[in-house]
Amino acid sequence: MESKIISKGDIYTVLICGIPGVGKSFFSKILINYFENRNLSKENMFYETFYFSFDEIFFLTDINTSITNTENNINTDILSYDNQMKIILDLSKYKPKRKEFLEKYIEKAQEIINNRKIKNISNKIIKYVFIIDDNFYLKSMKKPFFKFCRNFQISYNEIHIKADLQYCLNLNSQRKGIQRIPDHVTQKVLNNFQWDSFNENFIYEIKISDLNSLHKVNLEDIYRKMLINFEVIQNLEMKISINSLENEKLKIEKKKNKTIFIETFENSLRNKVGEIIKMFIVSNDSKIRNKIDTKYISSIKQKFFKMVKNLLLNISEKEDTICFVDPFAFITLIEKIKEENYKLNNVNILIEIFCNLLNLIKN
């Protein structure tokens, strides 16, 4: 099981999101250069950056290997565009590569969390920045990164780069070979893009008209956002912890109420049976006194109590058959008792059902 060590605000994860051809890799390099330039400044911080690109993991490893291992051992450069795209869109390779993409990030992040240095040789405080480059067009693609950051209180950030479709298609058309994405795929990604996040504070949106626009992005704003989002993720973790604590309190309270309800029901049932038997015994009618079978009534009481108890506790156990006029209504009542957190006024309803049951059996 993973040991949970809090990041203490020195680790940042930045997801670069957008459709193919929007300039995610280009902007990632701009962001990396920004932190490298900060390292040259006089500030007392040193930023160690780590770049993870899904395209690099998918195209450069799996695709090249697949192409080399074809029957005719054809070189990548002379493969037709259509054949290359068949390899790219092979889901049997895509899904494992997504898993590998995530695992590489987690492996490195955990290594830093467990063994990180506070200061470098220049006595500067080290900050670790992970830049994750992928389309991330589905929220489910971002979720494992977010959950990891939340669990270890790592600053979580999403940079959404947006541009006109035609601009992206034009840029994508300049790519060569297997890294060029078919236009219909880009269109589909855009149509299905889920731009929302797990908290609106995590999002930094960039709208561009060309690559030069990315040079004009205020990187200081992004950096401030990263600092703020450490506090956001920390508060989010605290909120989750508070909710978990509240849920645990509710579970304890419900368990206690259930125990009290069953005990109250058992005592009330016992008292009611005692009243019924006493009523028959003190009767002046000898026929009534002779008719009463106390052992039989006690037997029905025990079966009824056991059945109710097992239903309330969700215990599946073979029961002796007890006939009801409306068994569905009885089961509905049991579920109502659970939903209402075992209110004691329902005990009287169960006692009334028991009395009706005795009359039904007697008649």
Please report the DSSP string for 238-288 in residue order.
Answer: HHHHHHHHHHHHHHHHHHHHHHHHHHHHHHHHHHHHHHHHHHHHT-S-HHH
Query: Do both 88 and 136 map to the same domain?
Result: yes
Token pair belonging to 86: 């068949």
Residue type, 329: A
Does 6 fall in a domain? no
Query: Do both 211 and 265 map to the same domain?
Result: no
pLDDT tens by residue, 311-346: 888 776 655 555 554 566 677 788 788 888 889 999
Rounded average pLDDT over 286-301 = 69
Rounded distance between C-alpha atoms, residue 173 and residue 76, angstroms: 18
Phi and psi at residue 360, to the nearest 5°: -65, -45
Does 98 fall in a domain? yes
Answer whether residue 54 shows pLDDT above 70. yes
Exposure on the CB side of residue 275, measured as CA atoms within 13 A? 8
pLDDT the model gives residue 254: 86
Query: Do both 212 and 93 map to the same domain?
Result: yes
Answer whether residue 77 shows pLDDT above 50. no
Query: Do both 198 and 288 map to the same domain?
Result: no
Q: Is 267 helix (H, G, I), strand (E, B) or coil?
A: helix
pLDDT the model gives residue 58: 77
Query: Do both 66 and 151 map to the same domain?
Result: yes
Query: Do both 213 and 256 map to the same domain?
Result: no
Rounded distance between C-alpha atoms, residue 87 and residue 36, angstroms: 37
Closest CA to 358 of 265, 263, 277: 277
pLDDT the model gives residue 341: 86
pLDDT the model gives residue 11: 93
Does 347 fall in a domain? yes
Query: Do both 212 and 272 map to the same domain?
Result: no
Does 231 fall in a domain? no
Query: Do both 90 and 167 map to the same domain?
Result: yes
Does 350 fall in a domain? yes
Token pair belonging to 233: 């993720």
Would you place residue 300 in the very low, low, confident or very high pLDDT band (cuts 50, 70, 90)? confident
Domain end, chosen from 202, 217, 232, is at 217
- Higher pLDDT residue, 274 or 162? 162
Answer whether residue 107 shows pLDDT above 70. yes
pLDDT the model gives residue 106: 94
Answer whether residue 92 shows pLDDT above 70. no
CA angle 136, 140, 144 (to 5 degrees): 90
Does 4 fall in a domain? no
CATH at 152: 3.40.50.300
Query: Do both 87 and 147 map to the same domain?
Result: yes
Rounded average pLDDT over 167-189 = 85
Enumerate the β-bridge partners of residue 126.
Answer: 46
Number of domains in the chain: 2
Answer whether residue 282 shows pLDDT above 50. yes
Count the neighbouring beta carbons within 10 Å of the beta carbon of residue 63: 21
Rounded average pLDDT over 82-108 = 71
Domain holding 81, by residue range, is 11-217
Rounded distance between C-alpha atoms, residue 191 and residue 193, angstroms: 6
Which range (75-84, 189-198, 254-263, 285-294) has the least confidence? 75-84
Give the pTM.
0.60
pLDDT the model gives residue 71: 36
Does 246 fall in a domain? no
Q: How far is CA 341 from the centre of its chain?
A: 27
Domain end, chosen from 166, 192, 217, is at 217
Query: Do both 298 and 203 map to the same domain?
Result: no
Token pair belonging to 98: 């997504």
Query: Do both 54 and 108 map to the same domain?
Result: yes
Rounded average pLDDT over 98-119 = 88
Q: Are 150 and 240 in contact (CB under 8 A)?
A: yes
Q: Are 261 and 347 in contact (CB under 8 A)?
A: yes
- Higher pLDDT residue, 117 or 240? 117
Q: Are 240 and 147 in contact (CB under 8 A)?
A: no
pLDDT the model gives residue 239: 55
Rounded distance between C-alpha atoms, residue 19 and residue 22, angstroms: 6
Does 206 fall in a domain? yes
Rounded average pLDDT over 2-30 = 83
pLDDT tens by residue, 133-157: 999 998 989 999 999 998 888 999 9
Rounded distance between C-alpha atoms, residue 226 and residue 37, angstroms: 17
Domain end, chosen from 201, 217, 233, is at 217
Query: Do both 288 and 184 map to the same domain?
Result: no
Rounded distance between C-alpha atoms, residue 304 and residue 323, angstroms: 10
Answer whether residue 68 shows pLDDT above 60. no
Q: Is 342 left (phi over 0), alpha (psi -120 to 50) or beta?
A: left
Q: Are 13 and 132 in contact (CB under 8 A)?
A: yes
